[in-house]
A and B are shown apart, each in its own frame.
Chain A
Amino acid sequence: MTFRKFLRMYNKFVLPTVILVICIIAVFSGIVPAVRSIQNQYIEQDALNKEIAVIRKKVQTLEALDENTLRRQVIDLMTAVPPSKQLPSVFSTLDSVALQSGVTVDSMSMGSSGNIASDSSSAASSLSRSTSGLLDIEMSVNGTSDQAKQFLDTLADVRRFVRVNSFSAGYGEDGLVKMGLLLDAFYAPYPKTLGKSGDLLEPFTANEEVLLSQVARMPLISQELAQYESLPPVEYGNKADPFSY
């Protein structure tokens, strides 16, 4: 069979075959890649949608907060747990508590585990028995039994936070109580990062609100820390450190 005869016999098949070939080429070179691209776009947009929802919630949460209230709350918390060791504020707090309760301070010294100063940006990991840094303080006071009790009660109720780790009270013949105390004072460096824009930011929970008001109610009796109470709010602007005054 010659080629011409073949063509004459099957010429009606040529056009449909060409159409089918073009269709197959169109499917594999056009439609399939385009569908894959749409599928990828769908996945990306789904992720983007979720991210947008998180950012929107974050923005709404932040916009709903009053900056001055927030600043006040941060200052309250900073006076309870300062960003650095701030030894003067520890001694000032203890001195003020002693003065308020009427006990006499016999001695006060920093425990063995602390340096005199620490960079607020570096956590003292060797001191950390919790999420914060700790300063060990040894103290000895004397006074009447009521004064000693008031001293212990007041210590648990003031800013900055000082926790009685252990103590020993000796009752003398004269009715005076001599107490030796091991105290923990807390500090915690500022957070170093803000996190990503897509990180979830939930508003304060009811428990956190209770804690905030509890801290705000605690008296600030240290002269060193009292200065923060009267400071005016600062606009952030170009400041690198929003906590700085």
Chain B
Amino acid sequence: MNPSSNINLIKSDTQNLESLIPIQNLYRNFSIIVLFIVVVAGLLTISGYIIFGIRGQALVNQKSSLLTRLEAQKTKETLFLAARSRLKIVKEVLDTSRKKSVFLTNAQSVADAPVLGTVTEDVSGRVSMTYKVLSIEDAIGLNDRILDLYEAGMIDDVNLLGLSISQDYSISLSYDYKPVWK
């Protein structure tokens, strides 16, 4: 018989319960750890919630202040947008607008009036010129001067559109070309 200070002769636990003690301890420790984690996570969440709430309010205030400043600039904004929308049109117009006196200059550099008859620019942008000369030599000279313009890079895609000799032996020539813009 084992000496014992326990004077209770009735067993408080069964043999089964004694084997549960390590599991009980493990389970208790686990629950405490989980509780600790949940408490920490809860505190962190509450802190984050408060911080984001304050930050959000600060951003809303900042936006509101900026919108007030923007409202004060409404006139400038209107003017600015009006200017910008027109600038697009202005650019488009200026990009397609040319000083077309160069067509007359080109035509006159080949031969002036009365040899030069007409200069026409059609809507596709091609330019045609008509000349009337009195001899074959003049016609050849005229042709050479047009080729000089082509070689100088002032005109492109030159075509002799028509050549006719009338009863008075005058020769009518018509050319067209594509202008070169530099």
Binding site for B on A (CB under 8 A): 9-10, 12-13, 15-17, 19-20, 22-23, 26-27, 30-31, 34-35, 37-38, 41-42, 44-45, 48-49, 51-52, 55-56, 58-59, 62-63, 65, 67, 70-71, 73-74, 77-78, 80-81, 130-132, 145, 148-150, 152-153, 156-157, 161, 163-173, 175, 177, 182, 186, 188, 190-191, 194-195, 197, 201, 204, 207-208, 211-212, 214-215, 236, 242-243
Contacts and interface: CB of A to CB of B under 8 A. Distances in A.
Contacts of A175: 113
Nearest to B111: A171
Given A9-B16, A34-B49, A169-B104, A15 B28 contact: yes
Given A23-B38, A59-B70, A211-B91, A67 B123 contact: no
A81 B121 CA distance: 25
Contacts of B154: none
Contacts, number: 230
B117 A171 contact: yes
Interface of B: 14, 16-17, 20, 24, 27-28, 30-32, 34-35, 38, 41-42, 45-46, 48-49, 52-53, 55-56, 59-60, 62-63, 66-67, 69-70, 73-94, 96-101, 103-105, 108, 112-114, 116-123
Given A55-B66, A149-B101, A182-B123, A163 B96 contact: yes
A150 B81 CA distance: 35
Given A52-B63, A161-B97, A214-B94, A195 B81 contact: yes
Contacts of A211: 87, 90-91, 94
